[in-house]
Structure 1
Amino acid sequence: MGYRLAKHWHVVSLFIFLTTISIILVEYLESAQKSFLRDSLRSRAKDELSIIRSQLESLVVSDIYVANGLNTLIAVNPDVDLSGWDLIAASIMRKSNNIRLIGLAPDNVISHVYPMEGNERAIGLDYRTVPSQWRTIEKATELQEIYIAGPVELVQGGRALIARVPIYLDPPYNTRYWGMCSSVIDLGGLFKDAGIAAFEEKYNFAIRGVDSEGWNGDLFYGSQSTFDAALAVEIVNFPHGGWVLAASEKQDLLNHSEWYRVHTARLIGYPILLVLLLAFGQIYRLYVVANRRALQDELTKLPNRRYFMYTIETYFESAQSSQNDNVKFALLNVDLDKFKEVNDTYGHAAGDEVLIATAERATKALRSSDLVARIGGDEFLVLIPRVTNQSTVEIVVEKLKKAISQTPITFENHLIDIDVSVGCVLYQPEFNSVEDMLHAADSSMYEIKNAKSQTFD
Structure 2
Amino acid sequence: MPPLHRPHKPISSRVVFLAALLLVIAGLAVTEYVVRMAEQRVAQVRTIEATAILAQMRAQLESEINSVLYLSRGLISYVAVQPAYDPDRWRELAAEVAHDSTLVRNIGLAPDNVMRFVYPLEGNEQALGLDYRNTPEQWPAVERAISSGKLNLAGPFELKQGGVGIVARSPVYFMDDGKKRYWGLASIVIDFPRLLEQARVSAHVEGFDIAIRGRDGFGAKGAVFFGLAKVFEDPVVEMTVHFPNGSWIMAARSSPGVSTPVIVIRLAAWLLIMILAGLFLLLFRLYRFAHEQSVSDPLTGLANRRLLLGRAEYLAQLYSRTGQGFALFFVDLNRFKQVNDRFGHHVGDQLLIEAANRLSQSVRQSDTLARNGGDEFILLQPGVNAGDASAIASKLEAMMDRPFMIEGHSLQISASVGCAVFPQDVNNVEAVINLADSRMYERKQEKRARQS
**Bigger Rg, which one:** 2
TM-score between both structures, scaled by the size of structure 1: 0.48
Per the normalisation by structure 2, the TM-score is 0.49
